[in-house]
Amino acid sequence: MSALHQIPSFKPLYEQIKTLLTESLVAGEWRPSEMIPSEIELAERYKVSQGTVRKAIDSLASENILIRRQGKGTYVATHDAEIIKRRFLRLAAANGQKEALQSEFLSCDKTKAEESVAKLLGLKPGAGVIEIKRLLTFSGRPLIYDHIVVPANPFKGLNSIKTIESNGSMYSMYESQFGIRMIRAEEKLKAVSADKEAASALGLEVGFSLLSIERVSFTYGDKPMEWRLGLCITDDHYYLSELE
């Protein structure tokens, strides 16, 4: 039985092809920054029209999973690409000034998942996780206290050295070191008061008003792979969201 016939037939045909392409990405058939086969080749492979393949690729491109390059072909998107690199970082200066972003490492520890985070990551409470804490500075000023949790098994070998060597780009490091690419994220925003830990890291008084950004990032197959809490100073910055 062909792979296409294993997908529920009630889905539109291009959605079925999109699912098969995604499965190939999950399996590592095409790696980040590599070119995928042409539409003609894929149409022959799946025994469908070139137009159906094109529609499936267009859908994946709209989700920043694939990138079309005029006259060159279609490539698997990568966090090294400039248009992707800071896609999940939305804090911007109120005066519009472009700022140099840097990361200051604080800690990286193996621990057990708290119940709330485990649930968001699809893990059992107490499952092994890796917990990272760092400061994100904008033109030298600490603005974000970043608390990251990832499941231990897919990120076996993630440690302080790899975190520091990532030079602040965690998603690029996930991709290059562990073959895990984040393709989308869900965020929850609310106003909070700085607790003792965040206040100390950011050089603030306890109780200072911060913007809390809780994020869960997903890889192929809509699998949650990272929980992140960013506590942000927004006295002269704001959260920028671009809607399409």
What distance in Å separates the CA atoms of residue 186 and residue 166, rounded to the nearest whole number? 23
Give 158-186 pLDDT, tens digit per residue. 999 999 988 768 888 898 888 888 888 89
For the chain, first and last CA: distance in Å?
Answer: 39
Give 176-231 pLDDT, tens digit per residue. 888 888 888 899 999 999 999 999 999 999 999 999 999 999 998 889 999 999 99
Residue 17 to residues 52, 60, 63, 213, Cα–Cα distance (Å): 8, 11, 15, 35
Give the chain's domains with CATH numbers.
Answer: 4-76 (1.10.10.10), 88-239 (3.40.1410.10)
Q: Is the overall model pTM greater than 0.85, yes or no?
A: no
